[in-house]
């Protein structure tokens, strides 16, 4: 029986994880659930899964939540609040696996704490890895933590790696990674129309049902940019050896090209419960609840090269990883600020890339070899991005 802590339990990945957990009560026990604002959803999850701990990230909502739990049939749940508590529950002795499913930089410290504590880290929170890079990978190797990717593409790549492969290492006979992308909702939209797309249009993803931030990232293809950096780190690959492939059907989740000419792909319906179940059952497999793939219904599959004119965010991600140092941290932070501003209707869709590019231009690729330097760069990049937004408006 393994104990699991789910950071970001109320989000899209968190909910899918609990769905998989509920299918395997003989193998997984929920030790801790955490949420930011949606305490109604967290309350319902507490009733169903009866964790030992529930963490509310926003202190302001914690008291009300404590009162509700105290009056409930699950009154023995310990309710904690704040960012420190996230690290506390991610490192509890009876937690074996930590699902890192908080969105954005807010997930970095608890995910890093889990890695340092030698846990099995199920990594959905790609921003945490992108912003901390080598620091994170070093924490994993020093503590002996097991790092398993949840992002569908990286999970697919991991599945296509040789037997016994562990993340962070070079798979010697693999010469290239083919990182697939759906192309998002605007793959065919005339470029001139992208100026006026609304947040609701941008979050309406054709293939995946996800949180709002990652949905916008998919529409700009910054999601693929972050995933490119994520793949460089997880699989110790050079960015030039990773080819992004637009595959609108989202049936192949990525491929590994080997020196003998073999290209291995992992396929399946686009449902995050497959990579989640794979990582939870690893090195075995168990049921995820996902319907079997109907290959006849799929019929055919298409592949295209991405257009960097249409998707400048992808170009910026290549530039950031090649520059190295703090650049990926800056890219990620500026993107988080720009996406939030877009979702709040402060800036246009096409401004997102402009804000990131202008922010990156104000930094040099300085060293990023301590957590302190990374957090400093993250904070500074957020300030710079806000300034750029202010200048756009004026």
Residue 101 interacts, among Mg ion, ligand NAD, none and using kind-specific CB cut-offs from 5 to 8 Å, with ligand NAD
Residue 72 contacts by C-beta under 8 Å, 6 or more apart in sequence?
43, 46, 47
Residue 355 interacts, among ligand NAD, Mg ion, none and using kind-specific CB cut-offs from 5 to 8 Å, with none
Shortest approach of ligand NAD to residue 364 CB, angstroms? 27
Does residue 50 come out as left (phi exceeding 0), alpha (psi in the -120 to 50 range) or beta?
left
Nearer to ligand NAD, 125 or 250 (CB): 125
Shortest approach of ligand NAD to residue 214 CB, angstroms? 4
Shortest approach of Mg ion to residue 152 CB, angstroms? 5
- Residues numbered 142-181 forming contacts with Mg ion, rule: CB under 5 A: 151-153
Residue nearest to ligand NAD (CB): 11
Nearer to Mg ion, 86 or 244 (CB): 244
CA distance 224 to 217: 8
- Cα 110 off chain centre by: 14
Nearer to ligand NAD, 54 or 160 (CB): 54
Residues that bind ligand NAD (CB under 6 A): 8-14, 35-36, 38, 57, 101-103, 106, 124-127, 151, 208, 210-211, 213-214, 272
Q: Edge-to-edge strand order for the sheet containing 146-149? A: 78-81, 53-56, 28-35, 2-7, 97-100, 120-123, 146-149
Shortest approach of ligand NAD to residue 167 CB, angstroms? 16
Residue 80 interacts, among ligand NAD, Mg ion, none and using kind-specific CB cut-offs from 5 to 8 Å, with none
CA neighbor of 384 nearest in space, from 335, 325, 343: 335
Does residue 39 come out as left (phi exceeding 0), alpha (psi in the -120 to 50 range) or beta?
alpha
CA distance 36 to 204: 23
Residues 130, 105, 203, 181, Cα dihedral to 10°: 10
Nearer to ligand NAD, 100 or 358 (CB): 100
CA distance 6 to 310: 36
Spatial contact of 321 and 230, defined as CB atoms under 8 Å apart: no
Neighbours of 248 (CB within 10 A): 18
**CA angle 380-8-244, nearest 5°?**
65
Nearer to Mg ion, 51 or 149 (CB): 149
Shortest approach of Mg ion to residue 148 CB, angstroms? 14
Shortest approach of Mg ion to residue 195 CB, angstroms? 26
CA neighbor of 81 nearest in space, from 128, 35, 30: 35
Nearer to ligand NAD, 57 or 280 (CB): 57
- What is the chain's percent helix, strand, coil content, to nearest 5? 50, 15, 35
Q: Is 336 in the site for Mg ion (CB under 5 A)?
A: no
Residue 351 interacts, among Mg ion, ligand NAD, none and using kind-specific CB cut-offs from 5 to 8 Å, with none
Supply φ then ψ for residue 58, to 5 degrees: -85, 115
CA distance 7 to 22: 17
Shortest approach of ligand NAD to residue 358 CB, angstroms? 24
Provide the sign of the torsion angle of the four alpha carbons 35, 38, 41, 42, taken in this order: positive
Shortest approach of ligand NAD to residue 362 CB, angstroms? 25
Residue 32 interacts, among Mg ion, ligand NAD, none and using kind-specific CB cut-offs from 5 to 8 Å, with none
Nearer to Mg ion, 153 or 378 (CB): 153
Q: Which two tokens stand for residue 23?
A: 């299918």
Shortest approach of Mg ion to residue 392 CB, angstroms? 29
Residue 35 interacts, among ligand NAD, Mg ion, none and using kind-specific CB cut-offs from 5 to 8 Å, with ligand NAD
Nearer to ligand NAD, 160 or 358 (CB): 160
Residue 336 interacts, among ligand NAD, Mg ion, none and using kind-specific CB cut-offs from 5 to 8 Å, with none
Give the count of residues interacting with Mg ion (CB under 5 A): 3
Residue 133 interacts, among Mg ion, ligand NAD, none and using kind-specific CB cut-offs from 5 to 8 Å, with none
Residue tagged 């996406």 (tokens) = 339
Nearer to ligand NAD, 54 or 358 (CB): 54
Residues interacting with Mg ion, by CB under 5 A?
A: 151-153
């Amino acid at each position: 029986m393994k104990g699991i802590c789910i950071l970001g339990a109320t989000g899209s990945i968190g909910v899918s994880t609990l769905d998989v957990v509920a299918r395997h009560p003989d193998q997984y026990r929920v030790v801790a659930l955490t949420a930011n604002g949606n305490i109604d959803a967290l309350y319902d999850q507490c009733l169903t899964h009866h964790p030992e701990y529930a963490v509310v990230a926003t202190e302001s909502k914690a008291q009300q939540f404590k009162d509700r739990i105290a009056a409930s049939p699950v009154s023995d749940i310990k309710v904690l609040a704040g960012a420190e508590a996230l690290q506390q529950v991610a490192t509890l002795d009876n937690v074996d696996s930590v699902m890192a499913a908080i969105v954005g930089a807010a997930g970095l410290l608890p995910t890093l704490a889990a890695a340092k504590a030698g846990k099995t880290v199920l990594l959905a929170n790609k921003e945490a890895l992108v912003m901390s890079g080598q620091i994170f990978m070093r924490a994993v190797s020093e503590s002996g933590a097991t790092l398993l990717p949840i992002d569908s593409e990286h999970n697919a790549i991991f599945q296509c790696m040789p037997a016994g492969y562990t993340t962070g290492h070079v798979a010697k006979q693999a010469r290239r990674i083919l990182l697939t992308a759906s192309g998002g909702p605007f793959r065919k939209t005339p470029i001139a129309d992208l100026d006026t797309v609304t947040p609701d249009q941008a979050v309406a993803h054709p293939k995946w049902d996800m949180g709002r931030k990652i949905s916008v990232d998919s529409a700009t293809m910054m999601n693929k940019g972050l995933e490119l950096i994520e793949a460089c780190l997880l699989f110790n690959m050079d960015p030039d050896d990773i080819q992004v492939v637009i595959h609108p059907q989202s049936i192949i989740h990525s491929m590994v090209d080997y020196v003998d000419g073999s290209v291995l792909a992992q396929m399946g319906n686009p449902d995050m419960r497959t990579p989640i179940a794979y990582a939870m059952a690893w090195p075995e497999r168990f049921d995820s609840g996902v319907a079997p793939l109907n290959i006849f219904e799929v019929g055919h599959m298409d592949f295209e090269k991405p257009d960097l004119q249409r998707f400048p965010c992808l170009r910026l991600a290549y530039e950031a990883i090649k520059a190295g140092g703090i650049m990926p941290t800056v890219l990620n932070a500026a993107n988080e600020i720009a996406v939030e501003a877009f979702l709040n209707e402060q800036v246009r869709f096409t401004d997102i890339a402009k804000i990131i590019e202008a922010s990156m231009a104000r930094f040099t690729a300085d060293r990023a070899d301590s957590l302190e330097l990374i957090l400093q760069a993250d904070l500074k990049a957020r300030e710079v991005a806000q300034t750029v937004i202010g200048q756009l408006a004026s």
